[in-house]
């Protein structure tokens, strides 16, 4: 690295002063030289003039009185005694009366002044002659020489003085260099002994100030060091705590999901059981979150005590109501299954207390007997068990659950695309009156037209639509398009509604809006799926009343498939019962189905409710339907759902 | 010898004082010029003229006349810018009423002090042919020595009506009681 060149302050100061002074001196010297030389010249000239003026009256009176020339010569001789006067010449009217030259005249004639003094008649201005004095400039030369020498001596003296002054300033400022040098490698860890502290001047003040500053810095550094040490300790503590929190669940003190993930990565073989407390949300809602947390803690402790002795099984808490048993060694499939089943059995016997309330819980367990993708697979198994209302399910590759998940995701994409591209359409299947064999109404059935223009049935996407919250949009589309379609067609038509649709105030408002808009209140029939299990009868009743007030009609779809009871159905004030297809499809041969169907028809007739047979897929069934006095028929035997209306 | 002494006395008695002609001419040339060196000459003009009064004893009338002619010949009626008039006055006729801008006193045995007093009263300059008369109160005289020498009676200079150029005073020889 190139060393930084220090520009000496002292040198700068002295150089500046020297240059400035030198300039001033040169200017003064030049000006004075000129002025003084001129002054010296003038002095000498004045002296010569003075002599001339002094002697002139005497010459004048002699000339005037016309006495003899001896007197004038006498005066001239007296003048010539002055060593500076080289010659005296007296003239009267251009005639030389007297001319006397000194011995030095010839030597000095070149460097002399000539003073020509006019001689006037005494007591008059009349010119009567002239006096010419040749005056030596020797004096002037000597004076200027002396002056020049003196000035040069002065300059030399000043130069020497500045040199000394420079050295003095340098000496004065040298402590600053020493201080700077000592400061150069300053570090708070290393104390510097500043020189010149005892000096009673500015350097001393600077040294003292730096020393004070150093002490403060040292104190501050010590404080900082202590603070840093303290902070480091705190950070270490917090790091440990955070690390603990990262892997430990704060509520139960059990290792958490992240810990499980790490453990799974760290072993080659193993197994996993995921435990989910059934309907734990209800416990939280009913008893409160504090009670819920309390139960989770107690549940965790009991699980812990159950598996405390088994070293290769580690208990984890994955999320709110989900726990896991991680087998760090691969157990036999039988042992894994037994462990799960014993766990389920033991938990069912567990009773938790909260404010004198006994709370019992049930669990669902999903298991996996392999380590590869254990968490995901156990989770799939758990979800499948829940879906299948089983308390335990072991993950099986044959379930092809993963593929289903992928397919579901693809369907969500397709659905979104279809909605975006307006490819969700109503298809219309006629419902025939069994007495007249004419079309009584049409059921509007949802269809998705895919990118290859294939017509996709709703069983492929409706469940996925419900999970992905697209169902609401599909319902709205069907309501709008169906109402729009039948606006100017004089036929009844029906639309399917789920329980969720009926419980959604937004859907109710949308239906009301479209019915009014397209004026189809008298034509529209809403089919409510009985198979979904209507539980909130009061809310459904309110919904139906709202629509019936507009003049709409209501049908119960898939009647006989659910657990609805007739008493509740009566309250709903329905107009149609559509008998479930499972009863109709074998109606021609299944005696039991015939009995159930007949019971439904009888029941409906008493209530003045029309009945509709679905799934009429052949002639025999159609005949049987008619025999049983079912009011209307619908099925592929009679007509398939079509994009356009089929007229009878 | 007695006869020679008697002749000399008679001659002096009959024909007056034996003047040095060279000295007379020198005085006639220079005294008017000296008179012109008086800065207060204007005050002494009479009817705008300088009255050059020559006082003489009766027996020196011719001398006075010759002086008068010499002056007129040299100055041709003007002393510089001033016209002048030569007034020949016998000693006995001299009084305070005599017109005079200056008085030139020829030799006399009489009381010269009278001339000095009148001149003093009038405040005018006096010239004496004989240097010895300066002792009696006259102001200037001139002698021909190795060179021409002007004598001035220092005692008589202190009159407020006479003010000479300084250079004149530098070149004169002063006569006083001490070095007379």
Q: If you measure CA to CA, which chain A residue comes closest to B169?
A: A58
**How many Å apart are CA A345 and CA A347, to the nearest integer?**
6
Nearest by CB to residue B147, choosing from A57, A61, A67, is A67
**How many Å apart are CA A507 and CA A543, to the nearest integer?**
10
Distance set, CA A223 to CA A187, A188, A233 (Å): 15, 12, 15
Residues A437 and A576 in one domain: yes
Residues A16 and A137 in one domain: yes
- CA count, 13 A, side-chain hemisphere, A10: 16
Provide the H-helix boundaries in A551-616: 566-571, 581-584, 591-606
Residue A174: pLDDT over 90: no
Residues A266 and A225 in one domain: no
Which residues make Cβ contacts (< 8 Å) with residue A551, sequence separation at least 6? A521, A522
Q: If you measure CA to CA, which chain A residue comes closest to B142?
A: A67
Mutation test of the interface with chain B: which of A58, A62, A64, choosing the one with the most B Cβ atoms within 10 A?
A: A64
Provide the H-helix boundaries in B2-149: 2-15, 21-36, 61-75, 112-122
Q: Express each pLDDT in B20-29 by its tens digit.
A: 999 999 999 9
Residues A84 and A102 in one domain: yes
Residues A371 and A434 in one domain: no
Which range has the worst mean pLDDT, A88-92, A119-123, A421-425? Answer: A119-123
Distance set, CA A253 to CA A15, A59, A250, A297 (Å): 81, 141, 5, 9
The confidence score (pLDDT) of residue A434 equals: 94
Which range has the worst mean pLDDT, A200-209, A328-337, A540-549? Answer: A200-209
Domain boundary among A353, A383, A399: A399
Name residue, tokens 């109503």: A426
User: Looking at the domain assignment, is residue A235 inside a domain?
Assistant: yes
Q: What is the DSSP letter of B38?
A: B
**How many Å apart are CA A301 and CA B67, to the nearest integer?**
175
Name residue, tokens 């810018």: B81
Q: Is A468 exposed, middle or buried (0-12, 13-18, 19+ CB in 10 A)?
A: middle
**How close B82 comes to chain A (CA, Å)?**
13
Mean pLDDT of the region B54-78: 91
| Residue A288 φ/ψ region, left for φ over 0, alpha for ψ in the -120 to 50 degree band, beta for the rest | left
Provide the token pair at A569.
């159905």
**How many Å apart are CA A632 and CA A610, to the nearest integer?**
8
Mutation test of the interface with chain A: which of B165, B172, B173, choosing the one with the most A Cβ atoms within 10 A?
A: B165
Nearest by CB to residue B167, choosing from A57, A67, A68, is A57
Asked if residue A524 lies in contact with residue A493, where contact means CB atoms within 8 angstroms, the answer is yes
**How many Å apart are CA A84 and CA A112, to the nearest integer?**
9
Residues A25 and A150 in one domain: yes
Provide the token pair at A148.
């020049």
Residues A226 and A309 in one domain: no
Mean pLDDT of the region A465-479: 87
| B30 neighbourhood in chain A, CB within 8 Å | 65-67
Q: If you measure CA to CA, which chain A residue comes closest to B163?
A: A123
**How many Å apart are CA A16 and CA A148, to the nearest integer?**
26
Which is more confident, B5 or A59?
A59
Give me the DSSP letters along A335-394.
Answer: HHHHHHHHHHHHHHH-EEEETTEEEE--EEEEEESSSTTHHHHHHHHHHHHHHTT-SEEE
What is the phi/psi pair of residue A299, to 5°?
-60, -40
Residues A335 and A218 in one domain: no
Q: What is the DSSP letter of A556?
A: E
Residues A468 and A607 in one domain: yes
| B150 neighbourhood in chain A, CB within 8 Å | 65
- List the domain range (segments joined by +) for residue A354: 257-399
Distance set, CA A16 to CA A150, A171, A175, A393, B61 (Å): 25, 17, 21, 99, 97
- SS3 letters across A208-237: HHHHHHHHHHHHHHHHHHHHHHHHHHHHHH
**How many Å apart are CA A204 and CA A210, to the nearest integer?**
10
Which residues make Cβ contacts (< 8 Å) with residue B55, sequence separation at least 6? B89, B90, B91, B94, B103, B104, B105, B106, B108, B115
| B40 neighbourhood in chain A, CB within 8 Å | none
Asked if residue A274 lies in contact with residue A367, where contact means CB atoms within 8 angstroms, the answer is yes
Cβ–Cβ of A64/B170 closer than 8 Å? no
| B151 neighbourhood in chain A, CB within 8 Å | none
The confidence score (pLDDT) of residue B11 equals: 46
Which range has the worst mean pLDDT, A161-165, A258-262, A445-449? Answer: A161-165
**How many Å apart are CA A395 and CA A413, to the nearest integer?**
27
Provide the token pair at A116.
């020509």
- Domain containing A321 — which CATH number? 3.30.70.270
Residue A186: pLDDT over 90: no
- Domain containing A62 — which CATH number? 3.30.450
Mean pLDDT of the region A215-230: 88
The confidence score (pLDDT) of residue A507 equals: 92
The confidence score (pLDDT) of residue A561 equals: 63
Which range has the worst mean pLDDT, A59-73, A353-367, A477-491? Answer: A59-73
Q: Which of B137, B134, B160, B165 is nearest to B149 (CA)?
A: B134
Name residue, tokens 């004496």: B128
Domain boundary among A369, A399, A429: A399
Provide the H-helix boundaries in A248-352: 257-266, 280-287, 289-307, 333-349
Cβ–Cβ of B34/A66 closer than 8 Å? no
Residue A366: pLDDT over 60: yes
User: Looking at the domain assignment, is residue A586 inside a domain?
Assistant: yes
Asked if residue A254 lies in contact with residue A244, where contact means CB atoms within 8 angstroms, the answer is no
Q: What is the DSSP letter of A197?
A: T
CA A519, A522, A526, A527: dihedral to nearest 10 degrees?
-140
| A71 neighbourhood in chain B, CB within 8 Å | 147, 171
**Residue A193 pLDDT level (bands cut at 50, 70, 90):** confident
The confidence score (pLDDT) of residue B67 equals: 94
User: Looking at the domain assignment, is residue A638 inside a domain?
Assistant: no
**How many Å apart are CA B68 and CA B89, to the nearest integer?**
12
User: Looking at the domain assignment, is residue A188 inside a domain?
Assistant: no
> What is the overall mean pLDDT for chain A?
86
Cβ–Cβ of B171/A64 closer than 8 Å? no
Residue B14: pLDDT over 60: no
**Residue A137 pLDDT level (bands cut at 50, 70, 90):** confident
**How close A51 comes to chain B (CA, Å)?**
14
The confidence score (pLDDT) of residue A202 equals: 81
User: Looking at the domain assignment, is residue A187 inside a domain?
Assistant: no
**How close A82 comes to chain B (CA, Å)?**
20
Q: What share of chain A is helix, strand, coil (3-state, %, to 5)?
A: 55, 20, 25
Q: Is A382 exposed, middle or buried (0-12, 13-18, 19+ CB in 10 A)?
A: buried
Chain B residues with a Cβ under 8 Å from any Cβ in chain A:
29-30, 33-34, 36-37, 39, 80, 146-148, 150, 165-168, 170-171
Mean pLDDT of the region A119-145: 85
- Split into its structural domains, chain A has a count of 4
Which is more confident, B2 or A66?
A66
Asked if residue A581 lies in contact with residue A615, where contact means CB atoms within 8 angstroms, the answer is yes
**Residue A300 pLDDT level (bands cut at 50, 70, 90):** very high
Q: Express each pLDDT in A368-396 by its tens digit.
A: 999 988 999 999 899 888 888 889 999 88
Residue A273: pLDDT over 90: yes
Which residues make Cβ contacts (< 8 Å) with residue A588, sequence separation at least 6? A618, A620, A621, A623, A624
The confidence score (pLDDT) of residue A533 equals: 56
- Report chain B's terminal Cα–Cα distance, integer Å: 34
Q: How many CB pairs under 8 A join A and B?
A: 43
A102-111 contacts, C-beta under 8 A, 24 or more apart: A104/A136, A105/A134, A108/A136, A108/A137, A108/A138, A109/A134, A111/A136, A111/A137, A111/A138, A111/A141
Residues A536 and A569 in one domain: yes
User: Looking at the domain assignment, is residue A297 inside a domain?
Assistant: yes
Mean pLDDT of the region A82-102: 88
Q: Which of A300, A413, A420, A406 is nearest to A361 (CA)?
A: A300
Nearest by CB to residue B30, choosing from A57, A65, A122, is A65
**How many Å apart are CA A379 and CA A240, to the nearest integer?**
30
| B165 neighbourhood in chain A, CB within 8 Å | 57, 61, 122-123
| A67 neighbourhood in chain B, CB within 8 Å | 30, 147-148
Cβ–Cβ of A65/B80 closer than 8 Å? no
Q: Is A45 exposed, middle or buried (0-12, 13-18, 19+ CB in 10 A)?
A: middle
Residues A514 and A545 in one domain: yes
| A58 neighbourhood in chain B, CB within 8 Å | 167, 170-171
Asked if residue B161 lies in contact with residue B40, where contact means CB atoms within 8 angstroms, the answer is yes
Architecture in CATH for domain B20-175: 3-Layer(aba) Sandwich (3.40)
Helices and strands in chain A: count of H runs, count of E runs: 20, 20
Nearest by CB to residue B39, choosing from A57, A70, A123, is A123
Name residue, tokens 């006989």: A560
**How many Å apart are CA A86 and CA A352, to the nearest integer?**
148
| B80 neighbourhood in chain A, CB within 8 Å | 124
Mean pLDDT of the region B123-142: 88
Cβ–Cβ of A58/B171 closer than 8 Å? yes
Distance set, CA A173 to CA A11, A207, A570 (Å): 10, 13, 113
Which residues make Cβ contacts (< 8 Å) with residue A126, sequence separation at least 6? A120
**Residue A567 pLDDT level (bands cut at 50, 70, 90):** low
> What is the overall mean pLDDT for chain B?
84
Q: Is B70 exposed, middle or buried (0-12, 13-18, 19+ CB in 10 A)?
A: middle
Give me the DSSP letters along A394-417.
Answer: E--GGG-HHHHHHHHHHHHHHHHH
- Domain containing A608 — which CATH number? 3.20.20.450
Which residues make Cβ contacts (< 8 Å) with residue B16, sequence separation at least 6? B57, B59, B60, B62, B63
User: Looking at the domain assignment, is residue A136 inside a domain?
Assistant: yes
* Gyration radius of chain B over CA positions: 16
| A78 neighbourhood in chain B, CB within 8 Å | none
Q: Express each pLDDT in A487-507 by its tens digit.
A: 999 999 999 998 888 888 899
Mean pLDDT of the region A52-77: 84
Asked if residue A523 lies in contact with residue A491, where contact means CB atoms within 8 angstroms, the answer is yes
Distance set, CA A448 to CA A10, A465, B117 (Å): 95, 12, 172
The β-bridge relationship of strands A576-579 and A610-613 is parallel
What pTM was computed for the model? Answer: 0.41
Residue A256: pLDDT over 80: yes
**Residue B175 pLDDT level (bands cut at 50, 70, 90):** confident
Residues A456 and A584 in one domain: yes
Q: What b-and-e string marks burial along A543-577, b requiring 16 or more CB atoms within 10 Å of the CB? A: bbeebbeeebbbbbbbbbbbebeeeebeebebbbb
The confidence score (pLDDT) of residue B132 equals: 87
Mean pLDDT of the region A42-71: 84
User: Looking at the domain assignment, is residue A179 inside a domain?
Assistant: no
Residue B88: pLDDT over 80: yes
Residue B10: pLDDT over 50: no
ipTM of the complex, rounded to two decimals: 0.78
């Amino acid at each position: 690295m190139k060393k930084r060149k220090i520009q000496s302050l002292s040198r700068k100061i002295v150089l500046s002063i020297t240059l400035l002074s030198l300039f001033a001196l040169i200017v003064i010297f030049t000006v004075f030289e000129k002025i003084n030389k001129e002054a010296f010249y003038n002095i000498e000239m004045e002296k010569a003039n003075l002599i001339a003026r002094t002697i002139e009256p005497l010459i004048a009176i002699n000339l005037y009185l016309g006495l003899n020339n001896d007197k004038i010569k006498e005066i001239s001789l007296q003048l010539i005694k002055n060593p500076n006067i080289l010659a005296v010449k007296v003239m009267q009217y251009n005639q030389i009366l007297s001319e006397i030259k000194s011995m030095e005249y010839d030597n000095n004639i070149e460097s002399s002044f000539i003073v020509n003094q006019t001689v006037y008649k005494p007591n008059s201005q009349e010119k009567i002659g002239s006096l010419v004095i040749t005056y030596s400039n020797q004096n002037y030369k000597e004076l200027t020489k002396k002056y020049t020498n003196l000035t040069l001596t002065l300059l030399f003296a000043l130069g020497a003085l500045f040199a000394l002054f420079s050295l003095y300033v340098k000496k004065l400022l040298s402590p600053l260099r020493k201080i700077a040098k000592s400061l150069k490698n300053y570090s708070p860890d290393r104390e510097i002994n500043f020189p010149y502290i005892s000096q009673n001047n500015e350097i001393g003040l600077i040294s003292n100030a730096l020393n004070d500053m150093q002490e403060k810095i040292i104190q501050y550094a010590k404080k900082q060091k202590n603070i840093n040490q303290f902070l480091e300790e705190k950070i270490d503590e917090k790091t440990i705590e955070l690390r603990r929190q990262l892997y430990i669940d704060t509520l139960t003190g059990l290792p958490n999901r992240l810990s499980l993930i790490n453990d799974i990565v760290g072993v080659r073989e193993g197994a996993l059981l995921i435990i989910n407390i059934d309907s734990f949300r209800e416990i939280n809602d009913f008893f409160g979150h504090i009670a819920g947390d309390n139960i989770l803690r107690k549940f965790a402790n009991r699980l812990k005590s159950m598996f405390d002795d088994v070293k290769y099984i580690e208990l984890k808490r994955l999320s709110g109501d989900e726990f896991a048993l991680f087998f760090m060694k691969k157990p036999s499939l039988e042992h894994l299954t037994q462990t799960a089943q014993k766990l389920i059995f033991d938990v069912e016997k567990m009773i938790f207390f909260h404010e004198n309330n006994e709370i019992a819980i049930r669990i669902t367990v999903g298991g996996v007997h392999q380590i590869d993708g254990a968490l995901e697979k156990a989770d799939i198994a758990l979800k499948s068990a829940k879906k299948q209302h089983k308390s335990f399910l072991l993950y099986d590759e044959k379930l092809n659950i993963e593929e289903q998940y992928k397919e579901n995701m693809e369907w969500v994409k397709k659905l979104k695309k279809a909605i975006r591209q307006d490819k969700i359409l109503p298809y219309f299947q006629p419902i025939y009156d069994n007495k007249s064999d004419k079309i009584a109404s049409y059921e509007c059935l949802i269809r998705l037209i895919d990118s290859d223009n294939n017509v996709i049935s709703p069983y492929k996407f409706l469940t996925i639509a419900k999970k992905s919250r697209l169902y609401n949009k599909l319902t709205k589309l069907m309501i709008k398009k169906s109402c729009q379609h039948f606006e100017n067609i004089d036929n009844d038509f029906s639309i399917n509604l789920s329980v969720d649709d009926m419980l959604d105030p937004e859907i109710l408002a949308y239906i009301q809006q479209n019915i009014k808009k397209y004026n189809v209140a008298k034509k529209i029939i809403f089919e409510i799926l009985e198979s979904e299990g209507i539980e909130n009868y009061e809310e459904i009743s309110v919904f139906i009343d709202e629509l019936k007030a507009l003049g709409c009609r209501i049908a119960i779809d898939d009647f006989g498939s659910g657990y609805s009871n007739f008493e509740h159905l009566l309250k709903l004030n329905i107009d149609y019962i559509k008998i479930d297809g499972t009863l109709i499809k074998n109606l021609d041969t299944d005696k039991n189905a015939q009995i159930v169907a007949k019971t439904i028809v009888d029941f409906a007739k008493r209530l003045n409710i029309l009945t509709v047979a679905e799934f009429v897929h052949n002639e025999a069934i159609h005949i049987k339907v008619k025999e049983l006095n079912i009011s209307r028929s619908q099925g592929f035997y009679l007509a398939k759902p079509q994009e356009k209306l089929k007229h009878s | 010898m007695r006869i020679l002494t008697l002749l000399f006395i008679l001659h002096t008695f009959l024909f007056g004082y034996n003047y040095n002609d060279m000295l007379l001419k020198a005085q006639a040339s220079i005294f008017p010029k000296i008179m012109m060196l008086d800065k207060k000459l204007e005050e002494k003009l009479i009817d705008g003229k300088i009255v050059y009064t020559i006082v003489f004893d009766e027996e020196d009338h011719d001398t006075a006349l010759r002086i008068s002619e010499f002056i007129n010949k040299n100055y041709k009626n003007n002393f510089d810018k001033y016209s002048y008039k030569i007034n020949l006055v016998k000693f006995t006729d001299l009084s305070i009423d005599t017109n005079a801008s200056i008085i030139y006193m020829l030799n006399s045995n009489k009381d010269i002090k009278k001339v000095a007093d009148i001149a003093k009263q009038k405040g005018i300059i006096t010239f004496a042919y004989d240097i010895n008369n300066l002792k009696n109160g006259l102001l200037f005289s001139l002698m021909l020595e190795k060179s021409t020498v002007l004598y001035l009676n220092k005692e008589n200079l202190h009159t407020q009506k006479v003010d000479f150029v300084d250079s004149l005073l530098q070149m004169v020889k002063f006569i006083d009681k001490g070095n007379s």
